Chain A
Amino acid sequence: MSKMHVSTTINGEPTEFLCDPSQAVLDVLRDQLGLTGTKEGCGSGDCGACTIMLDDRMVCSCLVLAAEAEGKKIETIEGMAKGDQLHALQKKFIEFAALQCGICTPGFLVASRALLERNNNPTETEVRYWLAGNLCRCTGYDKIVRAVMDVAADMRGASK
């Protein structure tokens, strides 16, 4: 069976790869393209560790076929910092110690950014529901939620 040729854009860079028809985007990102920031947790769409943006929609990359990425725009955690300049969410996660082992962190950061791009004034309930698809077994979520709320407050302050 032949490999499929896929042309896509990853973090702004035109990228081409070959994949098996049944391979997930997650596997191509990690195993072929070396983009190991996206983590595999459950592999069944429950934990959110592999969260990426696909044409501006937040998805679990374990549940997207690599072949489906043809002509689409992918954004991963690797595109979040600009050079050595961390994104505000990344800085705040460090400041608030909103991570321990770090496996869930890329997924939380991508998901949190997607929330704040839609709504920079979320309630705590909205943050918790938005992030309900991201599981963290270390932090107990509280520090993560407070970090996201704090970045939202900074964003609102900066836009005044």
Chain B
Amino acid sequence: MNGIEYSAPRTVDEAVGALVAAKGAGRILAGGTDLLVQLRSGFVKPGSTIIDIKKIGEMTTIEDIGGGSFKVGAAVTGMQLHDHPTFKKAWPGVLEAINLIGSKQIQGRASAGGNLCNASPAADSVPALVAAGATVTVQGPKGRREVAVEKIPASPGRMTLEPGEIVVSFTLPARPAGSSDAYLRLIPRTEMDIAVVGCGVSLTMKGGVCTAARVSLGAVAPTVLLVEAAGKALIGSKLDAEALEAAAAACRAVCKPIDDKRGTIVYRTKIAGVLCKRATTIAAERAGKK
């Protein structure tokens, strides 16, 4: 019909082999909520090979390593994470970000790996994973490497992966006591829309003082941003109004958004600061309860 092939390898080695063999015409299928839309609307070229990675154990399982550290397969679905007994306690912000992607039907299929590799600047799970300090394990023809999540997106729709490389899993680091995270996004309706701005914050509180913080923004630049200056503004403070405003200002300073029907440059920039303050406050409240 259209000359598209399907393969379902059992190991990551086989998947990499299939991707290399496809010579640039290989498409990785995780949940398919982006790929199938492209396929049905004729945007997948004839001669392409679809490589379904969901028969690979490592890419579809969640491993609780202990101490708040988790390994999450790139094709693990939002619902799988939602139903996991311990993930939510350690990473409520990462979970709420992933669970914001689409409807419950989409959640039954969509994965954080797919969200990252679709490389949209407005991907909801990516700012939360960047704030979390998550890394990805990438495997390619030359073996495996560990990369920070924020290093994967290159520009809208493009990644820094080398030919033949596959994102295998995410590793979330161990959590000191008093740590938590939060993700907020602004959309014009209450459910199922693309972020106008998204903000993830992960922090650690000790005796009312913030001892570690990472802040990340989505939908305000060609890629998701790690805002190191915002994290620095929070560290050492009691998250008083002054520190929150300094972090918000750092967020506004790095925004390079587009003007479109969802929001103007001025609006997106202002909202980036607002969401930073609110997400920080929520993360600190959650951290205080632990």
Contact = CB atoms under 8 A, between A and B. Distances in A.
Interface string A58-99: 111011110110100000000000000000000000000000
Nearest to A67: B6
Contacts of A130: 104
A133 B103 contact: yes
Contact of A58 (B4, B31, B52, B104): B104
B3 A1 contact: yes
B243 interface: no
A64 B1 contact: no
B192 to A, nearest CB: 6
Interface stretch (A8-16, A31-39, A43-51, A144-152): A43-51
A130 B4 CA distance: 34
Contacts of B54: 68
B52 A67 contact: yes
Interface residues of B, number: 31
A1 B127 CA distance: 42
A51 B102 CA distance: 14
A22 interface: yes
Interface string B7-45: 010000000000000000000010111001101110010
A43 B3 CA distance: 21
Contact of B36 (A48, A64, A129): A64
Nearest to B41: A44
Nearest to A56: B108
**Which one of B31, B32, B77, B104 has the highest number of Cβ atoms from chain A below 10 Å of its Cβ?**
B104
A104 interface: no
A64 B109 CA distance: 9
B40 A44 contact: yes
Nearest to A63: B36
Contact of B29 (A54, A57, A65): A65
A63 B3 contact: no
A133 B36 contact: no
A63 B37 contact: yes
Contacts of B6: 4, 21-22, 65, 67
Contact of B105 (A4, A24, A43, A48): A48
Nearest to A19: B6
B191 A129 contact: yes
Contacts of A43: 40
Among B1, B41, B105, the one with the most A-chain Cβ atoms within 10 Å of its Cβ is: B105
A22 B4 contact: yes
Interface string B178-204: 000000000000011000000000000
A148 to B, nearest CB: 13
A132 B31 CA distance: 19
A29 interface: no
Contact of A133 (B5, B8, B50, B105): B105
B5 A1 contact: yes
A57 B54 CA distance: 14
B79 interface: yes
A63 B4 contact: no
A20 interface: yes
A21 B44 CA distance: 13
A-B interface, 10 closest residue pairs, ranked by CB to CB distance from nearest: A133-B103, A21-B6, A57-B108, A22-B4, A63-B36, A59-B108, A67-B6, A132-B191, A133-B105, A60-B105
Interface of A: 1, 4, 20-22, 24, 43-45, 48, 51, 54, 57-60, 62-65, 67-68, 70, 111, 114, 129-130, 132-134
Given A63-B32, A133-B104, 9 more contacts: A21-B50, A22-B4, A24-B36, A44-B40, A48-B105, A58-B108, A65-B6, A65-B32, A133-B106
